[in-house]
Amino acid sequence: PDEATVFSMIQPTGKFHLGNYLGATRAWKDLSDLQKGNQKIIFGVADLHAITIPKPDAAEFRRFRKEAIASILSVGIDPSKVSVMYQSQIPEHSQLHWLLSTFASMGSLNRMNQWKSKSNIKEVDNETIGKVKLGLFSYPVLQAADILLYRSTHVPVGDDQAQHLELTRTLAEQFNNTYNVDFFPIPTTVFTPTSKILSLNSPDKKMSKSDPNQQSVIYLTDEPDVIKTKVKKAVTDSISESFNYDPIKRPGLSNLMNIVSGIQRAPIDVVESEFQKFNNYRDVKNYVSEVIIEDLKGPREEYKKLIQDEAYLDKIINEGQGRARDLANKNVNEIMKIMGF
């Protein structure tokens, strides 16, 4: 629709990798290419969310934040169409978080999975919950505030965020019903069209910024020979007479197929039949490396340029953040007025 507002963010918790690219930034670019008319697009760096895990070192955090902006832009997102910003620099995020926290029930937050997985809690009892920080528990409320602040209609995220989007919709409805207004649109979750990319060496967990084993992660900045080496060492299996997609029995191989499928935007059965021409894992891995190297070439080169051009990055952020903040400020003023402030 003409009035659509597309919104998403990513945390500056480390160097961006192939999973972030396929599951977030490239999907954002694809969406932004469809932008028309009055549609607004806002993509941000969720730096307030990033401090809900053990605190990063301040100098490292500053670097991750800037790298996140360069990583987002490196996929070719057009900053004249898209507002790129830091969450922390638009104080209305925190302001709306407070207002919405007065709607969110403890029970609804208690049902969320993320705070349990991030604090390694299996069984919730008083002792374990006593160690969980309020900010981590309240993370989904801040996320709802992020989205609703811009009256967003479409939110591209991975499927791990489905629960948070559900809460966002509930809070939007609660606000609208409480004040008998139609202020917040009920935002639609737009699932990014890629399978979870798994760690190359432990294909039972996802590829992640926070993985200490850098050999398991393909970073956007990896040079071709580094990508080749990592893929060559990727854990697969010893069944080599055929290369069938089987995420349960052959997670390593299936992960390589998912990578190719994601990059080529090709259905997995098309990739699977393509793999039938290979005779051994060396051929499979050579092919997979080539596909990755070729696709990441543009973003890698663009990233290198951007990260060195501080003045340009500052200009882009100032413009994007300025537009986003104007909207955020206008909306929070209206929200507070509706509430009687």
d(CA 52, CA 139): 8
Q: Stretches 16-24, 138-146, 176-184, 227-235: which one binds ligand ADP (CB under 6 A)? A: 16-24
Minimum CB–partner distance for residue 120 and Na ion (Å) = 14
Decide if residue 279 touches Na ion (CB under 5 A).
no
Structure tokens at 1: 């629709």
What are the tokens at 169?
A: 């919709």
The DSSP string of 164-204 is HHHHHHHHHHHHHHHTT---S--PEEEE-SSPPPBPSS-TT
**Max CA separation in the chain (angstroms):** 71
Among 10, 41, 75, 324, binds ligand ADP (CB under 6 A): 10
Nearest distance in Å: CB 211, Na ion: 9
| Residue 199 token pair | 């760690």
Closest distance of CB 156 from ligand ADP, Å? 8
Distance CA 86, CA 42 (A): 11
Residue with tokens 């902006």: 69
* Contacting residue, 6, 7, 15, 19, with ligand ADP by CB under 6 A: 19
The tokens for 276 are: 């039938």
Instruction: State the catalytic residue, choosing from 15, 40, 66, 209.
Output: 209
Tokens encoding 240:
């080599």
| Residue 210 touches Na ion, criterion: CB under 5 A | yes
Q: Within 209-228, which residues bind ligand ADP (CB under 6 A)?
A: 209-210
Q: Per-residue x/- mask for ligand ADP, residues 175 to 214, rule CB under 6 A?
A: -------------------x-xx--------xxxxx----
**Nearest CA among 169, 139, 171 for reference residue 154:** 169
Which residues here bind Na ion, judged by CB under 5 A? 210
Which residues here bind ligand ADP, judged by CB under 6 A? 10-11, 13, 19-20, 22-24, 157-158, 160, 194, 196-197, 206-210
